Structure 1
């Protein structure tokens, strides 16, 4: 095990950790002592019908989700909803390479899949006494988890909302995930995962961050100098102050396990095709695309929405692109809230 102070409550705020025992993994093997970190807002009501599940995105934790999507007067208001924000496996707070002991530590940590997150989250909900979910909502990789919930645990999902994500990772995004991984492992300091600390892989993490700068933010974000609205005086200061600072503190192996999970994300199981899998999701669904998103373009999101029997597609306006999911823009938050309120107001037989 390697200590990394970045993955602590002092950085990400308070959270709980559920010890879930042995978890068989979809790609083979098992986590002998699966741990899931989570944070909640609000309380489960007596009827047990106000729970909302919100899984995290790539590299994200519960903190930016709570800050951007949950709060008094918001669509996800803790006065009315019991919001459970779950850190995906491999993200540094839930079971991850750096904090696992024994034969699965470090580079020996096994491959993860979206299905593993859903299985672990099901166990967590059982522990919390949550039966059905009023809503499962996620952004980016969190959206992929939400799709998997609706497809494989439909009896627990009353409503589905996906933001800037698709049910299957596209070939183009899979190529990007490979490039993002290569940026890390090509650093000699990576040393096949035997590095002592993230600082040893700083050059690789910086290359990783610069790739995110190119694809995570839209062309319009850079050409219109939209970074100024975030309080930065230059593009260079935005890159170093936000993107570089964001990624260089993270554990390289955690990023690699999440990238591998992203590359293989696929809601289908067995011989089922996508139309059959999504066509079986009966829950009212909201598909939110971001107009300048280069990772999950609106056309890809629309294709998924067309296969869902009870889905509505809405396109959010944000020149930021995919990274709008961090919720820095008030207009983005207002759009998301409006659409989530409409979904939550829909009557379900």
Structure 2
């Protein structure tokens, strides 16, 4: 067991069993457990529930720290906020707490079906006031809105797309290669992340290049974040962030990320898939995101009836999701507050 994924580092969360989960790729994930962080109380009408899924490498802890709080748009004094950690992320059932490199291939759809079972059977919900998530959380948000259009009243995908692009698929492949080409990886049979330190460092360097924008580098934003040099930023912040993570967990999530695609529901017809969405939807890319560019997100937004395009401005790019830009977080709050105030059927 990797202590990085402990209650001390990422809690409080509770593990809730949903039973065996049939997987889209075939086979079963036995005794699937979801790590869930709860904020606020469910009201008597059960109509104030908000689902917040997690992104690649992130857990419910960062969602709590950056996006949830009294007086915020995601206010636990008003809403029952359910943060569900994705399968494979380290807290829910994952390679690191299950069967390592023999862990089955998981799809975004498997996550969403597992979450649906959790919400309906454990919490007794019949609808969600909002689903909101960033990056892989946005992929799950789209999957929710397409798969369960009557259940989701509002949706806010942030910094992510409904169908992953070939460009993003290829870049994610380099993230995978950085890990798997490390001799210490041993086909996933390493004993600790330290054995794959070189691969995880290369992984972190690639994230540095694409996760932040070129303007982030040009304006020396790393100094505003408290790092005297880019080398210090890469070594301390980026490499330090990934160094303790389980490589098999990262690979599980990367495979899933590459194949995020709601058009699976409509034989590859993306307009038809997005046409299923009934939720009031705000599409919120980040202006300088190089993983999920604004143009890719807007192309999809135009296919969603009644949706609105609400780009978040930040030179921090994709990793502005970490909350490094207070002005961008304020834009998020303003959009979500407005969305939650919008009447829906």
Asked if these proteins are the same fold (TM beyond 0.5), I'd say yes
The answer (yes or no) to whether the contact 2:316–2:324 under 8 Å persists in 1 is: no
Distance in 2 of aligned mates of 1:239 and 1:13? 26
1:29 maps to which of 18, 27, 30 = 27
1:121 maps to which of 115, 118, 126 = 115
Which residue of structure 2 aligns with residue 339 of structure 1? 335
2:175 maps to which of 180, 184, 195 = 180
**2:159 aligned with 1:200, yes or no?**
no
**2:96 aligned with 1:109, yes or no?**
no
Deviation of 1:13 after TM superposition, in Å, equals 2.2
Distance in 2 of aligned mates of 1:131 and 1:59? 30
Distance in 1 of aligned mates of 2:271 and 2:35? 33
Deviation of 1:161 after TM superposition, in Å, equals 0.5
The answer (yes or no) to whether the contact 1:13–1:63 under 8 Å persists in 2 is: yes
Deviation of 1:129 after TM superposition, in Å, equals 2.3
The answer (yes or no) to whether the contact 1:38–1:85 under 8 Å persists in 2 is: yes
1:285 maps to which of 281, 286, 300 = 281
Which residue of structure 1 aligns with residue 133 of structure 2? 138
Distance in 2 of aligned mates of 1:272 and 1:233? 48
Distance in 1 of aligned mates of 2:266 and 2:131? 24
1:276 counterpart SS class: helix
Which residue of structure 2 aligns with residue 70 of structure 1? 68
Deviation of 1:239 after TM superposition, in Å, equals 1.1
Distance in 1 of aligned mates of 2:96 and 2:157? 30
2:191 counterpart SS class: coil
The answer (yes or no) to whether the contact 1:68–1:328 under 8 Å persists in 2 is: no
Distance in 2 of aligned mates of 1:344 and 1:293? 25
Deviation of 1:272 after TM superposition, in Å, equals 4.8
Aligned length: 343
Distance in 1 of aligned mates of 2:183 and 2:254? 20
Deviation of 1:73 after TM superposition, in Å, equals 0.7
CA RMSD of aligned residues (A): 0.9
Distance in 1 of aligned mates of 2:314 and 2:296? 17
Deviation of 1:315 after TM superposition, in Å, equals 1.5
Which residue of structure 2 aligns with residue 248 of structure 1? 243
**2:313 aligned with 1:313, yes or no?**
no
Which residue of structure 2 aligns with residue 191 of structure 1? 186
2:81 maps to which of 80, 83, 97 = 83
2:92 maps to which of 91, 94, 110 = 94
Distance in 2 of aligned mates of 1:195 and 1:348? 50
2:319 maps to which of 307, 323, 340 = 323
The answer (yes or no) to whether the contact 1:21–1:32 under 8 Å persists in 2 is: yes
Q: Counterparts of 1:141-156 in structure 2 under 5 Å?
A: 141-156=136-151
The answer (yes or no) to whether the contact 1:113–1:261 under 8 Å persists in 2 is: yes
1:36 counterpart SS class: strand
Moved over 4 A (4+): none
Distance in 1 of aligned mates of 2:139 and 2:307? 16
Q: Deviations over 1:129-155 (max 9, x none)?
A: 222100001100000000000000112
Deviation of 1:4 after TM superposition, in Å, equals 0.5
Gaps of 5+ in 1: none
Q: Deviations over 1:7-58 (max 9, x none)?
A: 0011112101111111011111110111110101101011100000010000
Distance in 2 of aligned mates of 1:140 and 1:52? 17
Deviation of 1:238 after TM superposition, in Å, equals 1.2
Distance in 2 of aligned mates of 1:282 and 1:206? 43
Distance in 2 of aligned mates of 1:144 and 1:315? 17
Gaps of 5+ in 2: none
**2:154 aligned with 1:159, yes or no?**
yes
Distance in 2 of aligned mates of 1:41 and 1:129? 17
The answer (yes or no) to whether the contact 1:137–1:143 under 8 Å persists in 2 is: yes
The answer (yes or no) to whether the contact 2:266–2:272 under 8 Å persists in 1 is: no
